[in-house]
Amino acid sequence: MTNFIKQADIITRKDHHCWGYTFLFHKGSFMYTIVSTDSGKIFTTYYCPKCSAYMNDHPHDFEDGIEYGDLLNDEEYAKSLFKDNE
């Protein structure tokens, strides 16, 4: 069972990949972070503002958790992400 320890909007101190769609965000980027525990291990995930907003708009899609890159499974959303980063 996953327990959430901390959820916060942050400005990163080093480079991180967005867990939602795997894109690299550089130091100083605004991201949303979740720190959680599962099976005795601590996990920290980072989400870009667009993925954070997407998850807030579609909470039922993530009731069973989210794996690395899961938001790429929504083709329309994925196209909009890559279009913005070209």
| pLDDT (0 to 100) of residue 15 | 97
| pLDDT (0 to 100) of residue 62 | 78
- CA dist 82 and 86 (Å) reads 6
| pLDDT (0 to 100) of residue 83 | 67
Could you tell me the residue ranges of all domains in the chain? 3-84
Low-confidence residues of the chain, pLDDT below 70?
82-86
| pLDDT (0 to 100) of residue 68 | 93
**Tokens 């807030």 -> residue:** 56
